[in-house]
């Protein structure tokens, strides 16, 4: 567990440093639409770029304007401070406007701060739709990315290597699915914070090491007897990108709630879905990474996402949903507005809260709203029975 | 939203106001002056358009006619589609569908009403949109969500990946009102074979979507007529563009607004062609008379707005330019990027051509034309890449002999605020004093017009420009 | 009969209320000190003196507000949202929608017949929807908060204020003052800017039944009257006690429920 916690809370965690010490390359990426398997197949460690451990955002603020969410600002802040100098490459993806501008802001900051732009700096053009021609474009982009990695790093990424990578990653996916099933049980023996740390760690650790640790973690959980969910509200966290373990800890430290599910960029989401290990690996990767619409950047799929949420709520017996958005994140901010309308309408209490990411996360404010929300849920008689919840959300979307 | 706002259909309000304004100059000079006394709240806007001469009056008529069509659409069995200014209405006109362009209809409310579109913008927030969403959609969108405008059958947008907050507004509308929705999606590069093909593939899908929603097939014969009209419009626009390059320019500042607002709403309409004729004739007359476009007679400064104009009430922004003797050489909205224009010589990938020789050629034409509208053309990728915002702005600033660059937008504009500072620094390096405005082009509550004006004056003064 | 208390430590003011048999027998409002603990102690001391009681006679005390966890003498901490809901119901038994504009944030809530929260929404990412905004603006104008409220009725042409950012709003006001714009119009503009932001919040909870306002800003008649126009509904006034102590009253009521073994009603 400590391994996961270290990986989840430190930018330059031991796993990454050990990998570098072995003389192997590390490439950072910004978006969950980037297939990590591609790097694994080239013996490159893929690490998800994050904004934790920032103490200010003056570098981020210099290049990004004022009306931009703090997530890319924090990443740029770390880059400007040299905290990402261990990277041999970075992949920038148009996840959203704020994140895609990390490309030019980082490069421009590189003109002022020496050595902060990795040698390999690539723009991976992920479309906003998964329909036929969008998927074709994505497959082409993947092939271009693969070729680019091969050329720059002097490696060969064969179809077999990709299939091996998929197989390896699937082991972890199966374990993550087991973890999700454990969290969905009537009696939950693992905290949301620990589960989240385990998931976030998977975005920065070498896969074999991660799978081994995850196996230990999951089998350990299966042996536990003490309920962590007894008498507590079962909550789900959705919304803007978050890799912040302390957000989950904030919720669970109230002593009145446990996070049993989430729909977050760093969360399990569809991680539990395995990718076919035979056939064309590039097509398989494309279909998995872009095929399921779980992010509002895939515009026009609100109903599908609402359906997904309702499914999760029923499966994990969720009592209430916390919908957070980082200020200036309009995609999640607006979608949370729709979710709130439609989930409250079927009796699922929702808490919408706007916040900051990074050094300005104000715990006091969050705690106030959390407590009020929990009080609201308990004040109105018994909490909705899980069966009622399942019935309520099983109505056609 | 205040209760009294809920009593009126917004489209009806605007339509009646604008058509009435268009009739004001029909009287004698005395009658016109008297009328102004009875419309103290609209006098500012009305006068500005009417003083611009026939182009301003025709523009008001065009808008009035547009609203009349909108308000009678259902009775005439027509379909209405919600869309954005970066998506050409030509395909919709070809299919006899009426486009409702959110941003233009917001801008009109901002220009005409003393309190702007505040009530409608706030209504969007009441029903779930964050207040940081772009105000340009949020004005008209508020009316739509509140049921205070004509309803739309389906929603189109083409800004995912280019302007997410724009796309998000349309996606929210579709989710809130449960309307069919189609997003055109643009890659981050332009002009290469791959993206050209993607444009067409995506557009073809959109046409299928529109056909399904409307129950009618795209008539390529009709599309050919519409594109022929666009071709004629592009030719006149090219002349106007050339005239904007003259020093002094015979084009008054407000002509920019009339030019692009009409293009976003009426491209392909014969009335727009007529309006363009009138604008060009008016400018040519000024050349013959030896007078510049600025009413005071002297051009003291030339600005290029690298993004959009300011739509504060009473046309204050355009009047301010007139007062100060500042020529408006265009914005990202002015240029249409039709091939043949001088400014596309160094950026041929950014231009489109018109070919109506076959249905495939026409589909290709309209797909490529759509992909060259503002924002989707040069904001789609990193700003310093070929054909993107920096290259385009520099080309325009040089050709149009701008003395300085002004950036004006909205706090909701994530895609420009994400890099406008490095962009401004680069423009300065290329020798163009650059001013970043911190106001909201559509919402004076962010920064009052008085303060915006002061800051502009301060910039011009400190940089020795005025 | 148990004597219970509630203490509400806010960013601008701290309040304490002592209840006996459902009646207020002592209360105090005072300006908050830098440390919440000191504010709470002072408020409680004031209320006790008012009631002629000693601390040890209080059977149960709930603390609320931003500083609630720092208060030494409380038995339990409850969110101010829940406390304001309860307090609002006590102050106006028909209240169904409650608006609370405090020093640091702004909240709108719907409550059930027992004053329990059914829905709430908050906005506090920006000072311009809070009491802090009015405080700053009043200072720039050189008027008291009370006087600021009265300016709306005397205005003829309220200004439109840059209300998204308090800093820029201040700059705007100074400009208007220097250009000789009447102070009534400026004051009315300030109140209107505040009311507009609050209106969005209120409308988002879809107000029903009687609407009631708590918190210090409830005493600004300019904001209240403009808000009424914007939402098209009357905002009822509290007659039983000062609306500013609603949170403390609610905390005291929850203390009473605790002591008397009442479960929160459904």
Query: pLDDT class for C68, splitting at 50, 70, 90?
Result: confident
Q: Looking at the complex, does the CB of residue B142 fall below 8 Å from at least one CB of chain C?
A: no
- Give the pLDDT of residue A397: 45
- The range of the structural domain enclosing residue C3 comes to 1-92+241-266
Looking at chain A, which residue has its C-alpha nearest residue C84? A372
What single string gives the DSSP state of each residue in A319-347? SEEEEEEETT-HHHHHHHHHHHHHHHHTT
User: Which residue of C78, C82, C204 is the best one to mutate when testing the A interface, meaning the one whose CB has the most A CBs within 10 A?
Assistant: C82
**Cβ contact (<8 Å) for A372 and C266?**
no
How many angstroms away from the CA of A376 is the closest CA of chain C? 5
Identify the three-state secondary structure at position B411. Answer: coil
Same domain assignment for residues C117 and C217: yes
Query: pLDDT class for C102, splitting at 50, 70, 90?
Result: confident
For chain A, the average pLDDT equals 92
CATH at C100: 3.30.420.40
Q: C-chain residues within 8 Å CB-CB of B40?
A: none
Same domain assignment for residues C13 and C123: no
- Inter-residue contact A273 to A251 (CB < 8 Å): no
Give the integer Cα–Cα distance in Å for A307 and A313.
Answer: 10
Query: pLDDT class for A387, splitting at 50, 70, 90?
Result: very low
Interface of B with A in 135-164 (CB under 8 A): 157, 160-161, 163-164
Interface of A with B in 275-334 (CB under 8 A): 296-297, 299-300, 302-303, 325, 327-331, 333-334
Q: Is residue B1 packed enough to be buried (19+ CB in 10 Å), middle (13-18) or exposed (0-12)?
A: buried
**Tens digits of residue pLDDT in B199-227:** 999 999 999 999 999 999 999 999 999 99
Same domain assignment for residues C86 and C209: no
**Cβ contact (<8 Å) for A128 and B421?**
no
Give the integer Cα–Cα distance in Å for C35 and A53.
Answer: 28
Q: B-chain residues within 8 Å CB-CB of C196?
A: 118, 122, 445
Q: Looking at the complex, does the CB of residue B47 fall below 8 Å from at least one CB of chain C?
A: no
Where is B318: in which H helix or E strand? Answer: helix B316-324
How many angstroms away from the CA of B110 is the closest CA of chain C? 14
Q: A-chain residues within 8 Å CB-CB of C82?
A: 372, 375-376, 379
Query: pLDDT class for A386, splitting at 50, 70, 90?
Result: very low
Interface of B with A in 386-445 (CB under 8 A): 411-422, 425, 438
Domain count within chain C: 2
User: Which residue of A323, A344, A372 is the best one to mutate when testing the C interface, meaning the one whose CB has the most C CBs within 10 A?
Assistant: A372
Higher-confidence position of C68 and A282: A282
Residue owning tokens 């082991």: A171
As for the ipTM of the complex, it is: 0.94
Identify the three-state secondary structure at position A213. Answer: helix
Q: Looking at the complex, does the CB of residue C80 fall below 8 Å from at least one CB of chain A?
A: yes
CA-based nearest residue to B49, from B261, B284, B307:
B261
**Cβ contact (<8 Å) for B445 and C193?**
yes
Where is B284: in which H helix or E strand? Answer: helix B270-289
Same domain assignment for residues C158 and C107: yes
- Give the pLDDT of residue A390: 59
Query: pLDDT class for C265, splitting at 50, 70, 90?
Result: very low
Same domain assignment for residues C39 and C10: yes
Q: B-chain residues within 8 Å CB-CB of A300?
A: 171, 174, 181-183
> What is the DSSP-derived secondary structure letter of residue A202?
T
- Give the pLDDT of residue A377: 87
Give the integer Cα–Cα distance in Å for B393 and B387.
Answer: 10
First to last CA, chain B: 43
Q: Looking at the complex, does the CB of residue B450 fall below 8 Å from at least one CB of chain C?
A: yes
> What is the DSSP-derived secondary structure letter of residue C159?
P
- Inter-residue contact C33 to C90 (CB < 8 Å): no
**Cβ contact (<8 Å) for A330 and B130?**
yes
Give the integer Cα–Cα distance in Å for B458 and B464.
Answer: 10
Question: What average pLDDT score do residues C34-55 get?
Answer: 93
Residue C8 has pLDDT above 60, yes or no: yes
Identify the three-state secondary structure at position C184. Answer: helix
**Cβ contact (<8 Å) for C79 and A372?**
yes
Q: B-chain residues within 8 Å CB-CB of C203?
A: 1, 123, 126
**Cβ contact (<8 Å) for B164 and A134?**
no
Give the integer Cα–Cα distance in Å for B373 and B131.
Answer: 27
Give the CA dihedral B15, B20, B25, B26, nearest 10 degrees.
110
Give the number of A-B residue pairs with CB atoms closer than 8 Å.
156
Residue A296 has pLDDT above 80, yes or no: yes
Q: Looking at the complex, does the CB of residue A383 fall below 8 Å from at least one CB of chain C?
A: no
Same domain assignment for residues C23 and C103: no
- The helices-and-strands tally (H runs, E runs) of chain C is 8, 10
Q: Looking at the complex, does the CB of residue A145 fall below 8 Å from at least one CB of chain B?
A: no
Q: Looking at the complex, does the CB of residue B383 fall below 8 Å from at least one CB of chain A?
A: yes
**Cβ contact (<8 Å) for B417 and A67?**
yes
Where is C7: in which H helix or E strand? Answer: strand C3-9
- Inter-residue contact B325 to B318 (CB < 8 Å): no
Looking at chain C, which residue has its C-alpha nearest residue A356? C125
Residue A388 has pLDDT above 60, yes or no: no
Taking each helix axis as running N to C, give the angle between helix C131-141 and helix C183-204, from 0 to 180 degrees, rounded to the nearest 10: 180
Interface of B with C in 223-282 (CB under 8 A): none
Give the integer Cα–Cα distance in Å for B159 and A330.
Answer: 14
**Cβ contact (<8 Å) for A369 and C122?**
yes
Q: Is residue B272 packed enough to be buried (19+ CB in 10 Å), middle (13-18) or exposed (0-12)?
A: buried
Give the integer Cα–Cα distance in Å for A2 and A220.
Answer: 13
**Tens digits of residue pLDDT in B78-91:** 999 999 999 999 99
- The count of residues in chain B is 466
Residue C128 has pLDDT above 90, yes or no: no
Give the number of A-C residue pairs with CB atoms closer than 8 Å.
47
Looking at chain C, which residue has its C-alpha nearest residue B120? C200
Looking at chain B, which residue has its C-alpha nearest residue C126? B131
How many angstroms away from the CA of A99 is the closest CA of chain C? 22
- Give the pLDDT of residue A363: 83
Question: What average pLDDT score do residues A105-114 get?
Answer: 97
- Give the pLDDT of residue B114: 83
Q: Which two tokens stand for residue C228?
A: 């009424």
Give the integer Cα–Cα distance in Å for A56 and A58.
Answer: 6
What is the CB neighbour count within 10 angstroms for residue A394? 11
- Give the pLDDT of residue A395: 52
Q: Looking at the complex, does the CB of residue B130 fall below 8 Å from at least one CB of chain A?
A: yes
Instruction: Give the lowest-confidence range in A55-64, A154-163, A268-277, B382-391.
Output: A268-277
CA angle C184, C185, C188 (to 5 degrees): 85
User: Which residue of C123, C128, C200 is the best one to mutate when testing the B interface, meaning the one whose CB has the most B CBs within 10 A?
Assistant: C200
* Chain C touching partners, 3 or more CB pairs below 8 A: A, B
Record the pTM.
0.94
Give the integer Cα–Cα distance in Å for C7 and C83.
Answer: 10
Same domain assignment for residues C20 and C143: no
Q: Which CATH architecture has domain B3-218?
A: 3-Layer(aba) Sandwich (3.40)
For chain C, the average pLDDT equals 89
Give the integer Cα–Cα distance in Å for C43 and C15.
Answer: 6
The ranges assigned to domains in chain B are 3-218
Question: What average pLDDT score do residues A16-32 get?
Answer: 95
User: Which residue of A105, A300, A328 is the best one to mutate when testing the B interface, meaning the one whose CB has the most B CBs within 10 A?
Assistant: A300
Question: What average pLDDT score do residues B322-326 get?
Answer: 97
Among the partner residues A62, A296, A337, nearest to B128 by beta-carbon distance: A337
**Tens digits of residue pLDDT in A309-331:** 999 999 999 999 999 999 999 99
- Give the pLDDT of residue A382: 44
Domains of chain A by range and CATH?
2-154 (3.40.50.11890), 160-393 (3.40.50.11900)
Q: B-chain residues within 8 Å CB-CB of A131?
A: 205
Q: C-chain residues within 8 Å CB-CB of B312?
A: none
Q: C-chain residues within 8 Å CB-CB of A380?
A: 112, 116, 118, 266
Among the partner residues B118, B125, B448, nearest to C172 by beta-carbon distance: B448
Give the integer Cα–Cα distance in Å for A324 and B108.
Answer: 34
Q: How far is CA A175 from CA A171, A180, C196, in A?
A: 6, 9, 51
Give the integer Cα–Cα distance in Å for B272 and C63.
Answer: 68
Give the CA dihedral C177, B132, A125, A206, nearest 10 degrees.
110
Residue A272 has pLDDT above 70, yes or no: no
Q: B-chain residues within 8 Å CB-CB of A133?
A: 198, 201-202, 205
Share of chain B above pLDDT 90, in %: 91
Instruction: Give the lowest-confidence range in B11-15, B324-328, B336-340, C72-76.
Output: C72-76
Interface of A with C in 317-336 (CB under 8 A): 327
Higher-confidence position of C167 and B303: B303
- Give the pLDDT of residue C264: 43
Sheet holding B404-407, edge to edge: B326-331, B301-305, B404-407, B434-436
Q: How far is CA B184 from CA A290, B95, C142, C222, in A?
A: 17, 18, 55, 48
**Tens digits of residue pLDDT in A236-246:** 999 999 999 99
> What is the DSSP-derived secondary structure letter of residue C264?
P
Q: Which two tokens stand for residue A354?
A: 């706007």
**Tens digits of residue pLDDT in A126-145:** 999 998 899 999 999 999 99
- Inter-residue contact B60 to B8 (CB < 8 Å): no
Q: Which two tokens stand for residue B5?
A: 């706002």
CA-based nearest residue to B180, from A310, A343, A302, A346:
A302
Query: pLDDT class for A361, splitting at 50, 70, 90?
Result: low
Question: What average pLDDT score do residues B268-295 get?
Answer: 96
Q: Which two tokens stand for residue B27?
A: 């009287």
- Give the pLDDT of residue B100: 96
User: Which residue of B174, B178, B381, B418 is the best one to mutate when testing the A interface, meaning the one whose CB has the most A CBs within 10 A?
Assistant: B418
**Cβ contact (<8 Å) for A379 and C264?**
yes
- Give the pLDDT of residue A365: 83
What is the CB neighbour count within 10 angstroms for residue B135? 30
CA angle B40, B45, B50 (to 5 degrees): 110
Q: B-chain residues within 8 Å CB-CB of A327?
A: 132
């Amino acid at each position: 567990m400590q391994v996961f916690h270290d990986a989840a809370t430190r930018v330059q965690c031991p796993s990454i440093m050990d990998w570098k010490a072995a003389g192997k390359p590390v490439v950072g990426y910004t978006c969950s639409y980037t297939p990590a398997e591609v790097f694994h197949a080239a013996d490159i460690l893929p690490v998800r770029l994050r904004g934790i451990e920032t103490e200010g955002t003056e570098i981020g603020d210099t290049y990004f304007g004022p009306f931009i969410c703090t997530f890319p600002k924090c990443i740029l802040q770390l880059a400007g401070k040299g905290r990402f100098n261990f990277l041999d490459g970075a992949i920038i993806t148009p996840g959203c406007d704020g994140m895609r501008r990390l490309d030019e802001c980082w490069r421009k900051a590189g003109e002022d701060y020496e050595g902060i732009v990795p040698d390999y700096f690539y723009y991976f053009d992920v479309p906003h739709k998964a329909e036929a021609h969008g998927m074709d474009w994505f497959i082409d982009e993947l092939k271009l990315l693969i070729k680019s990695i091969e050329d720059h790093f002097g490696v060969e990424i064969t179809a077999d290597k990709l299939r091996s990578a998929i197989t390896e990653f699937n082991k972890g996916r199966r374990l993550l699915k087991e973890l999700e099933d454990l969290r969905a049980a009537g009696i939950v023996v693992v905290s949301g914070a620990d589960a989240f740390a385990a998931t976030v760690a998977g975005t920065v650790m070498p896969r074999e090491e991660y799978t081994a640790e995850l196996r230990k973690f999951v089998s350990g959980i299966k042996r536990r007897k003490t309920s962590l969910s007894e008498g507590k509200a079962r909550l789900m966290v959705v919304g803007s990108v978050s890799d912040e373990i302390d957000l989950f800890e904030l919720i669970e430290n109230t002593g009145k709630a446990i996070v049993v599910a989430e729909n977050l960029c760093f969360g399990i989401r569809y991680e539990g879905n395995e990718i076919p290990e035979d056939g064309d690996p590039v097509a398989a990767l494309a279909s998995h990474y872009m095929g399921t619409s779980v992010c509002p950047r895939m515009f026009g799929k609100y109903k599908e996402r609402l359906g997904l949420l309702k499914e999760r709520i029923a499966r994990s017996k969720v009592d209430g949903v916390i919908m957070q958005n980082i200020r200036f994140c309009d995609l999640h901010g607006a979608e949370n507005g729709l979710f709130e309308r439609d989930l409250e309408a079927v009796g699922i209490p929702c808490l919408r809260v706007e916040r900051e990411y990074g050094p300005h996360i104000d715990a006091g404010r969050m705690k106030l709203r959390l407590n009020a929300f929990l009080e609201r849920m308990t004040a109105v008689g018994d909490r909705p029975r899980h069966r009622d919840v399942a019935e309520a959300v099983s109505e056609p979307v | 939203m205040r209760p009294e706002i809920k009593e009126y259909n917004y489209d009806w309000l605007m339509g009646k106001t604008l058509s009435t304004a268009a009739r004001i100059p029909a009287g004698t000079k005395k009658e016109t002056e008297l009328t102004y006394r009875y419309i103290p709240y609209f006098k500012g806007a009305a006068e500005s358009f009417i003083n611009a001469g026939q182009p301003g009056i025709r523009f008001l008529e065009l808008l009035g006619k547009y609203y009349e069509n909108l308000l009678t659409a259902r009775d005439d069995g027509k379909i209405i589609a919600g869309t954005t200014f970066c998506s050409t209405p030509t395909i919709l006109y070809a299919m006899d569908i009426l486009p409702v362009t959110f941003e233009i209809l917001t801008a009109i409310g901002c220009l005409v009403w003393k309190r702007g579109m505040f009530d409608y913008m706030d209504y969007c927030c009441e029903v779930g949109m964050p207040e940081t969403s772009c105000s340009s959609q949020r004005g008209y969108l508020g009316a739509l969500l509140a049921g205070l405008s004509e309803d739309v059958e389906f929603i189109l947008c083409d800004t995912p990946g280019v302007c997410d907050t724009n796309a998000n507004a349309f996606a929210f509308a579709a989710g809130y009102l449960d309307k069919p929705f189609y997003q055109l999606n643009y890659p981050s590069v332009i002009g290469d074979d791959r993206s050209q093909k993607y444009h067409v593939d995506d557009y073809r899908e959109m046409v299928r979507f529109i056909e399904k929603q409307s129950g009618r097939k795209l008539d390529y014969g009709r599309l050919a007529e519409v594109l022929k009209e666009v071709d004629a419009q592009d030719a006149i626009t090219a002349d106007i563009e050339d005239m904007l390059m003259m020093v002094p320019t015979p084009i008054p500042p407000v002509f920019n607004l009339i030019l692009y607002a009409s293009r976003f709403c009426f491209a392909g309409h014969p009335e727009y062609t007529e309006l363009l004729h009138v604008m060009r004739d008016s400018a040519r007359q000024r050349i013959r008379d030896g007078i510049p476009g600025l009413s005071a007679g002297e051009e003291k400064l030339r600005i290029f707005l690298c993004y959009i104009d300011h739509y504060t009430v009473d046309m204050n922004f355009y009047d301010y330019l007139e007062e100060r003797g500042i020529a408006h050489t265009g914005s990202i909205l002015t240029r249409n990027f039709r091939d043949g224009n001088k400014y596309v010589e160094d950026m041929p990938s950014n231009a489109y051509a018109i070919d109506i020789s076959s249905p495939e050629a026409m589909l290709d034409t309209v797909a490529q034309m759509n992909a060259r509208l503002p924002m989707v053309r040069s904001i789609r990728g990193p700003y310093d890449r070929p054909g993107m915002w920096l290259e385009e702005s520099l080309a325009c600033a040089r050709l149009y002999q701008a003395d300085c660059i002004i950036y004006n937008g909205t706090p909701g504009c994530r895609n420009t605020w994400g890099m406008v500072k490095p962009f401004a620094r680069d423009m300065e390096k290329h020798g163009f004093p650059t001013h970043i405005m911190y106001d909201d082009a559509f919402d004076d509550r962010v920064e009052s017009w008085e303060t915006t004006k002061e800051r502009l004056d301060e910039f011009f003064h400190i940089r020795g420009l005025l | 009969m148990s004597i219970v208390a509630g203490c509400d430590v806010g960013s601008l003011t701290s309040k304490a209320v002592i209840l006996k048999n459902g009646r207020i027998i002592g209360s105090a409002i005072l300006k908050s000190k830098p440390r919440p603990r000191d504010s709470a102690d002072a408020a409680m001391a004031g209320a006790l003196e008012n009631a002629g009681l000693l601390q040890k006679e209080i059977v149960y005390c709930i603390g609320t507000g931003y500083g609630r966890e720092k208060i030494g003498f409380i038995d339990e901490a409850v969110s101010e949202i829940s406390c304001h809901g309860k307090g609002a119901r006590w102050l106006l038994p028909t209240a169904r929608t409650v608006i609370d504009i405090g020093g640091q944030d702004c909240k709108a809530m719907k409550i059930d017949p027992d004053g329990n929260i059914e829905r709430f929404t908050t906005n506090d990412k920006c000072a311009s929807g809070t009491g802090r905004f009015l405080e700053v603006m009043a200072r720039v104008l050189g008027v008291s908060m009370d006087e600021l409220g009265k300016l709306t009725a005397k205005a003829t042409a309220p200004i439109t204020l840059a209300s998204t950012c308090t800093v820029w709003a201040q700059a705007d006001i100074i400009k208007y003052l220097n250009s000789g714009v009447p102070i009534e119009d400026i004051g009315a503009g300030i109140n209107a800017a505040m009311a507009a932001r609050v209106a969005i919040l209120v409308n988002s909870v879809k107000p029903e039944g009687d609407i009631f306002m708590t918190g210090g800003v409830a005493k600004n008649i300019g904001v209240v009257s403009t808000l009424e126009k914007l939402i098209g509904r009357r905002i009822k006034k509290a007659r039983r006690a000062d609306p500013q102590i609603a949170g403390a009253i609610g905390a005291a009521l929850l203390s009473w429920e605790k002591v008397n073994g009442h479960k929160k009603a459904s």
